[in-house]
Amino acid sequence: MTAVVVIDHIGTLATMDGSGPGGLGLVDNAVVVLVDDVIDHVGVVGSIAVPAGATIIDAGGRAVVPGLIDCHTHLLFAGDRADEFAMRARGCSYQDIAAAGGGIKSTMRAVRSASVDELVGLAVPRLRAMLARGVTTVEAKSGYGLTVPDELKMLEALRLLPYLVDVDVHATLLAAHAVPPEAASASAWVDTIIDELLPEVARQRLADACDVFVEAGAFGVVDARRLLRAAHHHGLAAVVHAEQLSWQGGARLAAEVSARAAGHLEHITADDAKALADAGVVAEILSTAQVFLRGQRPVPGRLLADAGCVLAIGTDLNPGTAMCADLPLAAGLAVTQGGLTAEEALRAMTVGSARALGLNDRGVVAVGKRGDLVVLEAASPFSLLYRWGEPLARTVVRAGRVVHTNT
């Protein structure tokens, strides 16, 4: 049987369809009709007769935006690194802590000793916190297992999560996150990923993208290039953690291999930004990580926008550099610390993040798109950027179904 949902009396609908000031596609006094999982009508109040038997959501003059999309997270992990936060406050750097066996390797140890069920159980409240902020789609990476079975275990846990929380989870293989202690070298581990992990991940369709941390002490561009080419051969899109702590040429590599997205980019140059824009690589702004690490560089935002990059925003949620599940806060920081306009930030965490995930069925409120919408507990869509720390989602609809209410 067909299910019809009508979201009526929307004060301001930000469709993100690219029209009007800042491309927000604002419609005042709007109504949206969903049939099953798809948007069937977008218009002003009274533009359509409310079908009998429809579920009515009265927005009561509030703002409505597309379901938010977190384009970059490491939300699946075990353990805790609060001690590292305190160490950095005393002057230790992220790199010093990693070199002393902490950092990613500390989380690796905790993840290796956790079962799939334990990992899932730990991630559920993080995903619920995201949903309460209006997030309907997230990207989530492996990268703390760092053996073939432990990376597969992480991807299996990510596959199970949407059965427990009503959020879409798009998994990315990030086996090239750190060199595992057992590996003879970074190149040897990349060989293992290419020979053993990629074929299995592709066979079981456990991830649709392959990411690599291009950084001193992690992976260089030569190994990253052959990994991403092998991933392409298996039908996985390329993604790069690029120029986060130092300039290594990861953004240029992302442009060279036509990566779907490149994240961080704190040490990027204007020429690199231009190369990303020309190659159509989506630039992921991960403001919370840079602020959390007390990075000396500003959050990159304006430089990327001025170069013409498509922008996306992610929380980068992870226990080391961004213990934060709050995508609207990340977007607010992209404005205040990265120099984006409010309109750019709203588009980045909807239609831009959809592009970063290779999805064109969401991020925009338009006929034929997936029925992912958020009624905000606010009259202005800008409140998402402005009211820091408040879970502002009053009603979340995902694929035409109400999946969260806070009324």
Contact of 377 with 406, CB cutoff 8 Å: yes
- Helices 148-160 and 116-131: crossing angle, nearest 10°? 40
Considering only residues 277 to 306 of the shown chain, the ones binding ligand NIG according to CB under 6 A are 289
Among 15, 244, 287, 315, binds ligand NIG (CB under 6 A): 244
Beta strands, E only, 52-167 = 55-58, 63-66, 68-70, 135-141
Question: Minimal distance in Å, beta carbon 56 to Fe ion?
Answer: 41
Question: Minimal distance in Å, beta carbon 148 to Fe ion?
Answer: 21
Among 14, 31, 33, 104, binds ligand NIG (CB under 6 A): 104
**Span interacting with ligand NIG, options 99-107, 197-205, 269-277, 336-344, rule CB under 6 A:** 99-107
Residue 181: helix, strand or coil by DSSP? coil
Q: In the block, which residue shows the tokens 């040429």?
A: 249
The partner residues of 116 in beta bridges, in order of sequence, read: none
Question: Minimal distance in Å, beta carbon 406 to ligand NIG?
Answer: 30
Contact of 42 with 27, CB cutoff 8 Å: yes
Among 12, 15, 107, 172, binds ligand NIG (CB under 6 A): 107
CA angle 94–319–179, rounded 5-degree value: 60
Among 166, 316, 343, 372, binds ligand NIG (CB under 6 A): 316
152 binds, among ligand NIG, Fe ion, none (CB under 5 to 8 A by kind): none
**Span interacting with ligand NIG, options 147-155, 316-324, 352-360, 361-369, rule CB under 6 A:** 316-324
Cα–Cα separations (whole angstroms), residue 139 to 16, 71, 311, 317? 20, 5, 15, 10
Question: Minimal distance in Å, beta carbon 72 to ligand NIG?
Answer: 7
CA nearest neighbour of 37 among 2, 75, 73: 2
Identity of the residue, 75 or 201, whose beta carbon is nearer to Fe ion in the bound complex: 75
CA 394, distance to chain mean position in Å, is 21
By CB atoms closer than 10 A (0-12, 13-18, 19+), residue 127 is: buried
321 binding ligand NIG? (CB under 6 A): yes
Contact of 51 with 4, CB cutoff 8 Å: yes
Among 136, 318, 337, 353, binds ligand NIG (CB under 6 A): 318
Report how far residue 174's alpha carbon sits from residue 167's, in angstroms, rounded to the nearest whole number: 21
Identity of the residue, 319 or 400, whose beta carbon is nearer to ligand NIG in the bound complex: 319
CA 267, distance to chain mean position in Å, is 20
The partner residues of 44 in beta bridges, in order of sequence, read: 30
**Site string (211-250) toward Fe ion, x via CB under 5 A:** ----------------------------------------
213 binding ligand NIG? (CB under 6 A): yes
Residue 396: helix, strand or coil by DSSP? strand
Question: Minimal distance in Å, beta carbon 249 to ligand NIG?
Answer: 16
Question: Minimal distance in Å, beta carbon 368 to ligand NIG?
Answer: 34
**Span interacting with ligand NIG, options 32-40, 161-169, 299-307, 314-322, rule CB under 6 A:** 314-322
**Site string (299-318) toward Fe ion, x via CB under 5 A:** -----------------x--
Among 319, 352, 363, 381, binds ligand NIG (CB under 6 A): 319
CA nearest neighbour of 193 among 206, 214, 170, 176: 176
Question: Minimal distance in Å, beta carbon 158 to Fe ion?
Answer: 15
Among 180, 220, 301, 320, binds ligand NIG (CB under 6 A): 320
**Span interacting with ligand NIG, options 85-93, 157-165, 319-327, 351-359, rule CB under 6 A:** 319-327
Q: In the block, which residue shows the tokens 């950084």?
A: 215
Report how far residue 218's alpha carbon sits from residue 245's, in angstroms, rounded to the nearest whole number: 11
Could you tell me what percentage of the chain is helix, strand and coil, using 3-state DSSP and rounding each to the nearest 5?
A: 35, 25, 40
Q: Applying CB under 6 A, which residues contact ligand NIG? A: 74, 103-104, 107, 213, 241, 244, 289, 316, 318-321
Q: Applying CB under 5 A, which residues contact Fe ion? A: 316
